[in-house]
């Protein structure tokens, strides 16, 4: 969304942007109950996936890494992981999917209360988010409610 690119340009936090989207009706709040549930990155991921499903959005886990096959040859998997150098530069999001209208969706899951600090890892994650946004997709950091 152009709104996400604008917010990044002006240093508007993802939390503030999500709040604005919810206030003006661009994002519906999550309907997943959390009473008695410890909030962490795993519960946020579950909430985001449930919220997405309720909106007809399909999201899949995008595991990224490298393992050795039975011959000892390294096999890289996950998006933006053709090489270590590429993966260090740009890190694809935790969840990858598609909206009913065909728009590509990516969500980088973070624990509740997370704030962008600009670490090399976060910068590489933001680079992927901005790439998706620049191509007309829907991408963002997700920390809980109203992230789709």
Q: Are 90 and 127 in contact (CB under 8 A)?
A: yes
Which of 13-22, 48-57, 60-69, 122-131 shows the lowest per-residue confidence on average (mean pLDDT)? 13-22
Instruction: State the pLDDT at residue 103.
Output: 95
The residues, any chain, with a CB within 8 Å of residue 129's CB and separated by 6 or more, are 4, 93, 106, 108, 139, 140, 141
Please tell me whether residue 58 adopts helix, strand or coil conformation: strand
State the pairing for strand pair 138-142/104-109: parallel
CA 116 – CA 14 distance, rounded (Å): 8
Angle 57-20-12 from CA coordinates, rounded to 5°: 105
Q: Are 122 and 112 in contact (CB under 8 A)?
A: no
pLDDT tens column, 99-119: 999 999 999 999 998 999 999
pLDDT tens column, 36-50: 556 788 899 999 999
Instruction: State the pLDDT at residue 23.
Output: 62
């Amino acid at each position: 969304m152009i709104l996400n690119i604008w917010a990044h340009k002006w240093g508007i936090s993802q939390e503030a942007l999500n709040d604005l989207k919810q206030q003006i009706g661009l994002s519906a709040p999550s309907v997943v109950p959390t009473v008695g549930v410890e909030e962490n990155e795993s519960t946020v991921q579950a909430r985001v996936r449930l919220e997405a499903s309720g909106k007809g959005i399909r999201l899949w886990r995008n595991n990224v890494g490298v393992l050795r096959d039975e011959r000892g040859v390294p096999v890289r998997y996950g998006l933006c992981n053709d090489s270590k150098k590429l993966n260090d530069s740009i890190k694809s999001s935790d969840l990858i999917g598609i909206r009913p209208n065909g728009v590509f969706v990516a969500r980088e899951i973070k624990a509740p209360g997370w704030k962008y600090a600009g670490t090399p890892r976060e910068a590489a994650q933001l680079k992927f988010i901005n790439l998706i946004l620049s191509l007309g997709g829907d991408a963002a950091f997700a920390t809980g409610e109203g992230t789709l």
